[in-house]
Amino acid sequence: MKIALFAVSLLLLTGNALADPQPWMRKDNPGELSVDTDVTEPCEISEQQLRETVEGVLTRSSITPIEFGESPVWLGLQVNVDCLGTSMFAIRVDFVDAIDLVAVRYGTVGYGSFGAHDGDSDVVLSGVTRQAKRAIADYLIANFDP
């Protein structure tokens, strides 16, 4: 278990080091963004809680969340929460494209974290909010900074 957590932490730290606004984040319609979410079961949070949290981050940033695959421009935000055992979780936030409605992650840019919870869903959802805000901040810079 310790080796698995160490491997996950290295992957997440590497992704965080590479996250910055990227040219491929630019869209003709930056006011809307596809959202794809997934939670491994069992977990302290539900798929609905995760989706509402991510959509809340977008809405507060004046971005309309749309269902993944509904936009003619496929760029979307994918948020995955993996619950590891009884007290650990990993969050992975990526910008993705779709090929035949299968999400394909853009390069090595990613936003993620991991942590421990004591049965408290707020801890997990706070982590999701932090990572989604980081991703959306880069998205906004890529689309609205001159």
CATH of the structural domain 2-144, one choice from 3.30.70, 2.40.128, 3.40.50, 1.10.520? 3.40.50
> What does the pLDDT look like over 8-21, one tens digit per residue?
444 444 444 445 77
| pLDDT 10s digits, 83-92 | 987 789 999 9
Q: The tokens 């809405």 sit on which residue? A: 59
* Domain range annotation of the chain: 2-144
Would you call the peptide bond into 72 cis, given omega within 30 degrees of 0 as the criterion? no
Alpha carbons 21 and 138: distance in angstroms, whole number: 5
Q: Indicate the pLDDT class of residue 102, thresholds 50, 70 and 90.
A: low
pTM given for the model? 0.79
Cβ atoms of residues 139 and 76 within 8 Å: no
SS3 label, residue 96: strand
